[in-house]
Chain A
């Protein structure tokens, strides 16, 4: 069954949802949010595309291999942890600093953000892998 309302609405809110997920990702270091919840948000919005259209649309929408996405995510997360080991601190040691960025002003950047991005990619990749493996079977 094709619902015109759902089609139109999905086209609009998919952008809002994805932007909101990135907002959650960046906010997550000191306030509620973070890589996992942002990843879920992003994958839920892609699930919405799947529900409205079909698995082919999702594939055109995100033409990447999901396992590679998981690998990249794990690479970021572990790489951040290993950075500490290379510099002589324990595994997963974090640090942060304040930077002046034009137009935005002073912001805090933490190495935990790299970890969060890794988690984000892993969660999105894993969810999409599960969905596509169910979706293709039917």
Chain B
């Protein structure tokens, strides 16, 4: 009997989406199934993690074709962490979407599309084949295209048109990269590519570096790194909040995950690529946050912040040390929880005031202190104030940088953190403090905040148990820096 655990995170959302499509008229069933599916994935991922911890990297051969010929599903520690995050975020988002999504969108398949998005994301985390990674990206993007344009409001169409175009462009580049990799190495299995790259003849080294940079551009577009981020602040303010939060929580992280995988497994970083990665990361960190300071549209501001925060994660990959990668993974975990809860907060603020501009909000704390407190925790955590999770994420990165004597990057982290704090305080002062003349819309805030409570609660857990969590991510980072484990597991040497 074969162990099917590794494939469940892909199968559960697929099956859920199909069942939801059959219950097209019955939105109650769809809502419940969304939550159930996320919860099931969460359970499966916990078991998968235990399995990987005890028995090493888990490999699964689709339809019994052995690697490197068939498509492999590979679950290592990093993949487990990412799957955990996607399941957690989708659970919170489903809880929020239950009360938030309007009837019209529900009728036009919001929930099945959401499950397909989840399937694509989980597939991208699990696949061990670069062409399959492309396919999973497309599944994810296809669902995201539809979710983004859902409802066809005029302002949605503009953002989603740009989003589809830039992503289609990046996908084509992905195909170019895959074609070149296949031409050079003759294989598409990531582990097999890693072996071929190690034994590559020195003449092709330049071409391989070019291909790896091509992939970096592709993933850079998907994660919105500077200078490829312009689509993001246009796209994220458009869809319903639950969708935007899911995009911010996980979809950008898929790109970070792919960068990590590419530059630890397939093209282990050399001096040149790592320098490029670090410079791009610092540029994103600073330019993103400067962009955020200039904004007054709540969600657009948060989208610019995503650009900046992705910079921190990619910088950790650029350090290419156990501590740097551990910091990167910790930061990914922290950010996917905090950023999505901030997006959900922005959704409630929009509902309360009927406005997206923080200048026209104000005084929310008087009416809804508990919800405001949740926002404050999330905001301080994003800015990196102790004792919240963002502080520890930045601290690990700072230690990693100090270990390598990269003091310029340390300064960049500190400046980025300071500017983040500045922009968060700006939201707090404008939207939550102060006085509001007209009355708020009547909104049952209590039914909306469950998703936020889950996410902020988990980030608090991350902060309180920082030592055990750090040990766990350090283990994952060490596994990443020793690609022979992955290669041996996949190719059964």
Residues of A within 8 A of B (CB): 65, 67-68, 70-71, 74-75, 78, 81-82, 84-85, 88-94
Contact = CB atoms under 8 A, between A and B. Distances in A.
A74 B62 contact: no
Given A88-B1, A91-B4, A74 B63 contact: no
B63 A67 contact: no
B11 interface: yes
B154 interface: no
Given A93-B63, A93-B64, A88 B2 contact: yes
Of the candidates A65, A91, A93, the one having the most CB atoms from chain B within 10 angstroms of its own CB is A91
Interface stretch (B16-24, B90-98, B224-232, B450-458): B16-24
Contacts of B109: 67
Given A67-B24, A68-B24, A93-B63, A75 B18 contact: yes
A90 B4 contact: yes
A74 B4 contact: no
A16 B360 CA distance: 64
B60 interface: yes
B64 A71 contact: no
Contacts of A89: 2, 64
A-side interface mostly:
helix
Given A85-B11, A90-B7, 10 more contacts: A68-B21, A70-B21, A71-B21, A75-B22, A81-B63, A82-B15, A84-B63, A85-B7, A88-B1, A89-B64
Contact of B61 (A71, A85, A90): A90
Of all A-B residue pairs in the complex, the 9 with the closest CB atoms, nearest first, are A71-B21, A92-B63, A93-B63, A74-B18, A90-B64, A93-B64, A88-B1, A91-B7, A75-B18
B21 A90 contact: no
Nearest to A112: B63
B341 to A, nearest CB: 33
Interface in B1-36: 1-2, 4, 7, 11, 14-15, 17-18, 21-22, 24
Contact of A91 (B1, B17, B22, B63): B63
Interface in B27-63: 60-63
Given A92-B62, A93-B64, A85 B4 contact: yes
A136 B24 CA distance: 21
A134 B15 CA distance: 29
28 contacts: A67-B21, A67-B24, A67-B109, A68-B21, A70-B21, A71-B22, A74-B14, A74-B17, A74-B18, A74-B21, A75-B18, A78-B14, A78-B15, A81-B63, A82-B11, A85-B7, A85-B11, A88-B2, A89-B2, A90-B2, A90-B7, A90-B60, A90-B61, A90-B62, A90-B63, A90-B64, A91-B60, A93-B64
A84 B22 CA distance: 23
Contacts of B7: 85, 90-91
A81 B21 CA distance: 18
A92 B132 CA distance: 15
Contacts of B24: 65, 67-68, 71
A138 to B, nearest CB: 15
A78 B18 contact: yes
Contacts of B18: 71, 74-75, 78
Contacts of B62: 90-92
A5 to B, nearest CB: 38
A18 B200 CA distance: 50
Nearest to B2: A90
A48 B216 CA distance: 43
Interface in B61-107: 61-64
Contacts of A78: 11, 14-15, 18
Contacts of A70: 21
B74 to A, nearest CB: 14
Nearest to B4: A85
A70 B11 CA distance: 17
Nearest to A137: B152
B228 to A, nearest CB: 29
A71 to B, nearest CB: 3
B47 to A, nearest CB: 16
A94 B24 CA distance: 30
B21 A94 contact: no
A37 to B, nearest CB: 18
Of the candidates B4, B11, B63, the one having the most CB atoms from chain A within 10 angstroms of its own CB is B63
Contacts of B14: 74, 78
B118 to A, nearest CB: 15
Of the candidates A67, A70, A90, A94, the one having the most CB atoms from chain B within 10 angstroms of its own CB is A90
Contacts of A81: 63
Contacts of A71: 18, 21-22, 24
Nearest to B108: A67
Contacts of A84: 63
Contacts of B1: 88
A71 B6 CA distance: 25
Contacts of B4: 85, 90-91
A68 B371 CA distance: 41
Of the candidates A74, A75, A94, the one having the most CB atoms from chain B within 10 angstroms of its own CB is A74
Nearest to B61: A90
B414 to A, nearest CB: 48
A78 B24 CA distance: 18
A90 B72 CA distance: 11
Contacts of B64: 89-90, 93
Contacts of A82: 11, 15
A84 B7 CA distance: 13
Contacts of A67: 21, 24, 109
A85 B8 CA distance: 11
Contacts of A68: 21-22, 24
Interface in B128-175: none
A79 to B, nearest CB: 9
